[in-house]
Amino acid sequence: MFRFLKTAKAVANLAMIYVSWKWYQHGFGLETAVGCLMVSSMWLALTLCQMRFLMRSYVTILSRLQMWLPMAFGFGLSATVMVTAHSHLVLFLGAFSFVAWALVLAWYSGQASKFKNRGVGVLPKGIMINPPAEMLPAGAILLMSGIPGAIGEAVGHGEIVIPDGDRKWAFSTYMKYGVVMNPLEEVLPRRAKRGITVARVPVVPWSEEQCKHSLLQARAMLRQNKEWVVRKREARARMLQKLPLPSLVTSLIGAALEKTVPVTGYDWGGLLLGRIKMNHWTCIGSVQELLWRMGITLDRYFGTGLLGAGTSILDPIMPARFFDLKCYRDLTEADYKAWLETQGKAD
């Protein structure tokens, strides 16, 4: 059902962009006020249908644009209707459209007040920034500053906390190293110097069995990934050897490939494609794969593909999508204060 709804919304948005462009070019043979009223009403209906869906992913710049642009367009069209209307009915409908957009703006502003600009993007108000390793429970998903900062995303990298007795590991995939398990107490300070880290924790704490299972699955994925790297590098070398080119040329091609798309265990194609591979992943892809292998049901599809119709086409798995997970909740500043009290560190 989620894929169907996402496909319907994507198609509807594209259709409305096309209709708006055709109206701008030709006006559909209608007088200005009537044409503006028709397009504004269509955008209003579409916006009302997807308001709650877009607010669940408010932290992403795309979701905010899908609200900002139709509202600005709708207000402009409604004002044009009221200025150019030649009948009382069209004037009344134009005023009604303007009021409807004002109500949408009021609701949107109320929802947006639950978020706050942090770093280069937007995050929920009250969420704990750069939490200490000691208070992070097993299974906590860490969302960190990363590449999407350039496009207004507060988080662009993801890791998950894996318990190992008294130790905690940060499990993820790095572009340079592939799948990694690093000591959590080393990862957090390093990341804090480069930006921000926020955490989402399981609503239901992991059991001891789940903790042990997560460590086994993480180690299995780490081993799978390193084996894939060896096989992939050998396959690439064999492919270059088969090229009917001088050895110097093939060496240059190999060096260029290693520089642009190195075989590290990272899923470079996953940066653009919404896919999950068996043995190499993006950072968020590896977190999602680990949770699936543990039998934890994720209540949203990630990487549902072009127009929501399928995987592997133009739908990267963005870290911000984890804010929409219902089986996780934000680790807040209130949680931090409560934790300090339990540790006897409260002021």
Q: What does the pLDDT look like over 55-106, one tens digit per residue?
A: 877 888 878 888 999 999 999 999 999 998 888 998 999 999 999 999 999 9
Q: Are residues 106 and 136 in the same domain?
A: no
User: Cα–Cα distance between 333 and 312 in angstroms, integer?
Assistant: 37
User: Domain boundary at 79, 97, 115, which?
Assistant: 115
Q: Which domain holds residue 303?
A: 124-341
Q: Are residues 51 and 159 in the same domain?
A: no
At 258 the pLDDT is: 82
Where residue 312 falls (left for φ over 0; alpha for ψ -120 to 50; beta otherwise) is left
Residue 346 covered by a domain: no
Residue 347 covered by a domain: no
Q: Are residues 226 and 147 in the same domain?
A: yes
User: Domain boundary at 115, 140, 159, which?
Assistant: 115
Alpha helices in the chain (DSSP H): 2-26, 32-56, 61-84, 88-112, 184-194, 208-242, 247-260, 283-293, 333-342
**What number is the average pLDDT over the span 32-52?**
89
Q: Are residues 40 and 75 in the same domain?
A: yes
Q: How far is CA 296 from its chain centroid?
A: 19
pLDDT band at 143 (very low <50, low <70, confident <90, very high): very high
CATH number for 325: 3.90.1720.10
User: Are residues 98 and 79 in contact, defined by beta-carbon separation less than 8 angstroms?
Assistant: yes
Q: How many domains does the chain have?
A: 2
User: Are residues 70 and 46 in contact, defined by beta-carbon separation less than 8 angstroms?
Assistant: yes
What average pLDDT is seen over the chain?
85
Cα torsion through 226, 231, 235, 237, rounded to 10: 60
pTM for this one? 0.82
